[in-house]
Chains A and B, each alone.
Chain A
Amino acid sequence: MSQRIVPTVKRKQIIELSESGRRMDGRTLTDYRDITIQTGLVEKAEGSALVSIGGTKVVAGIKFEVGDPFPDIPNEGVMQVGAEFVPFASPEFEPGKPDEVAVELARVVDRGLRESKVLDTSKLCLIPGKKVWIVHVDVYILDHCGNLIDTAALAALSAMLSASMPEACIEGDAIRLTGKRMPMPITDIPINVTLAKIGNKLFVDPSFEEEEVLDCRFSVAFKENGMLCAIQKGESGYITPEEVLRAVEIAKDKSQEIRKKVVESLKLKSDKVGES
């Protein structure tokens, strides 16, 4: 198929350029594209964020629901992450049930958040053993120009950081909502960083055209204290153990850079949300 010829030519070009440390869009190998974070877009959601990395756009929304706890953790709330690929985001997306790519994306975003213990679920219990808060974190891919994982993870995180939860009163076995809002029990700011291996080079924040020709993708999430909390290698190529170590080093630096950006832009926005 002719489709495969173009990426083969492009791959050669991308690898040649990378020898001098450059990329097709003018970035160095460790640069992210521009990141923007806008919170509070969807007022009906308890929290929401529209995040873009370069041309990639993802909106995330948080919804609370009263539900049953898992039997093995009866006194803890539940966080559920879902991913939807909106068909206008890419000509390759088709309407219908999430496919394995969407399932993987949701689970990688979920792991980064969950394993960092970003949300203190013990504070989301309503009636011990019976009713807890279910927190739905849903990400919608709106425009796919590469690196969906980092964009979606950042959108989910920003939505959570900007969210407030409903205040509930327990009267016997009844749950009454006071109509007031209270802050979410957030305990960390985990940041996910994705690199692509193309040839023997590592590319931070791969663009769409880089993803088309990559050998494999490597994502790692860091907690604020520098601990690793999630890793995912993806796609049908391989990476050497030495490259894995290098990728983690690079990602650690980048995660701090992005966390700074999140803190800065959310402080600004969250003040504004509080006023309205």
Chain B
Amino acid sequence: MSESKIERLISEDGIRCDGRKLDEIRPIKFQLGVLKNTDGSAYVEWGRTKILVGVMGPRESHPKHLALSDKARVEAYYRMASFSVEEWKSPAPSRREVELSKVIREALEPAIFVEFFPRTSIDIFIEVLQADGSTRCASISAASLALVDAGIPMRDLVASIAVGKVEGKLVLDVQDKEDKAGESDMPMAYMPSKNAVTLLQMDGQITHEEFLQSIELLKKGCMEVYKKQKEAIENHFKSAVSNGEEA
């Protein structure tokens, strides 16, 4: 945006400001079962983005009149900690957080067998401890694992990632700096086994051709996240078994 910034975000030989290639994702570390008082939980470190997710439910709907007779009511609460960004952020939910909570819920609900739990609620609480871009993608990917940890039956994991346009080039897994300076941001959430897109947003300006390329890049990125999610589940239950706990 600001012309004074001469710093290039992509070098001549296609290396990004943090040393990644254009289609390379950041290091992602998922961990399941990190909280004691939830039914399921997960923590993710996605580059410098750090997010904690706790799931409560299926449990009695509260208030009761909101209960649905044919399925569980899923709610997501996406919140950013006041210290998670450059400048102090009021803990009261902003319009952005309200919208993100809605689209995150809509990204996860297709994966959950909500029809198995009529009249109950499944609450997904997301706390962004540090934000460095792609927080909705990291939230959705980690929330999928928290749902698994809660033992809630699911059609598939939801994997999510974003593609941005920076200095005219499409880049996978946008970090904050690239998002702010970039020309566009396009996050997608995807259930690979159902070939189902459960979240797709875009802002910025891209051509039709770039849009087609973005979709391909997003699918590739989601498959990489999906693989890491599966590994995290395996590791979690392997260690649970070796510790003699009930998996």
Report A's interface with B, CB cutoff 8 A.
Answer: 1, 4, 72-73, 100-101, 103-104, 106-107, 111, 114-116, 216, 218, 220, 223, 226-241, 244-245, 248, 252
Contacts and interface: CB of A to CB of B under 8 A. Distances in A.
B99 A231 contact: no
Contacts, number: 101
Interface string B157-184: 0000000000000000000000000001
Given A223-B205, A226-B207, A248-B211, 5 more contacts: A100-B102, A228-B202, A232-B201, A234-B103, A240-B196
A238 B198 contact: yes
B202 A231 contact: yes
B47 interface: no
A106 B95 CA distance: 9
Contacts of B199: 233
A238 B212 contact: no
Closest 4 CB pairs of A and B: A238-B196, A231-B202, A236-B109, A233-B200
Interface string B191-232: 100111111111111111001100100010000000000000
B197 A230 contact: no
Interface residues of B, number: 39
Contacts of A223: 205
B165 to A, nearest CB: 11
B101 interface: yes
Contact of B201 (A231, A235, A239): A231
B195 A241 contact: yes
B1 A73 contact: yes
Nearest to A112: B203
B196 A103 contact: no
Nearest to A235: B106
Contact of A234 (B1, B106, B184): B106
Given A100-B98, A231-B186, A236-B106, A248 B198 contact: no
B239 interface: no
B79 interface: no
B64 to A, nearest CB: 14
Nearest to A115: B203
Contacts of B2: 72
Contact of B194 (A4, A103, A238): A238
Nearest to A4: B70
Contacts of B1: 72-73
Contacts of B219: 241
B95 A103 contact: yes
B99 A107 contact: yes
A110 to B, nearest CB: 9
A136 to B, nearest CB: 15
A106 B96 CA distance: 11
Nearest to B155: A238
Contacts of A240: 195-197
Interface-centre pick from B70, B96, B201 (highest chain A CB count, 10 A):
B201
A244 B191 CA distance: 15
Contacts of B212: 245
